[in-house]
Amino acid sequence: MNAHSPSGSGYWYGPDDRLDPPGAVLQALREYRNVEVARRRSTRDSMGMGETDLLALRYLLRAQTGGEQVGPKDLSRVLGITTASTTSLIDRLVSSGHVRREPHPTDRRSLVIVPTVATDAEVRATLGDMHRSMMAVAEGLSAEEARIVVSFLRRMSEAIAELPNRPSE
């Protein structure tokens, strides 16, 4: 560990405690991710729910906006969780008043999961400031800067996604 580096970690720092341009980019990306994770954790805590619960609500709200019907199997697939975990998740969200189970409009054997109006308002109020701040920064980019940032982030996503999974030791 490099005690002189601003992050407290010599992760991308050279022997002279300086960041070269690629290292500076990676450090800025790491700092952004840390701040975003902390903000989202704070949001989840203020709403009294876990990461998967919030991801489920965001998916349900997006689907509702798009006029889509979402059933438990859809949630399982999107969240990558088992049907048993999905049932527990839905039970928690129903109990907290964030969603309702309703009969499917065309299939009597199925249910759809519907976020409540209060949930939409709560998520917007809780995440709205963060999203507005992020949008203001993005809107401040020129078209060329935006193209470069998007290209970089997509390439970073691809580079990480292509890594092989390694078994934990």
* Measured distance CA(62)–CA(124) in Å, rounded: 12
What are the sequence ranges of the domains in the chain? Answer: 117-161
Cα 116 off chain centre by:
20
pLDDT at 54: 87
The answer to whether the beta carbons of residues 113 and 75 sit under 8 Å apart is: yes
pLDDT at 3: 37
Spatial neighbors of 83 by CB under 8 A, at least 6 apart, are 72, 73, 76
Q: What is the pLDDT of residues 26-62, one digit of tens each?
A: 888 999 999 988 888 888 788 788 889 989 998 999 9
Is pLDDT larger for residue 29 or for residue 8? 29
Residue 13, pLDDT > 70, answer no
Residue 9, pLDDT > 60, answer no
The answer to whether the beta carbons of residues 119 and 99 sit under 8 Å apart is: yes
Residue 127, pLDDT > 70, answer yes
Across the range 101-120, mean pLDDT stands at: 90
pTM over 0.95: no
Across the range 132-156, mean pLDDT stands at: 95
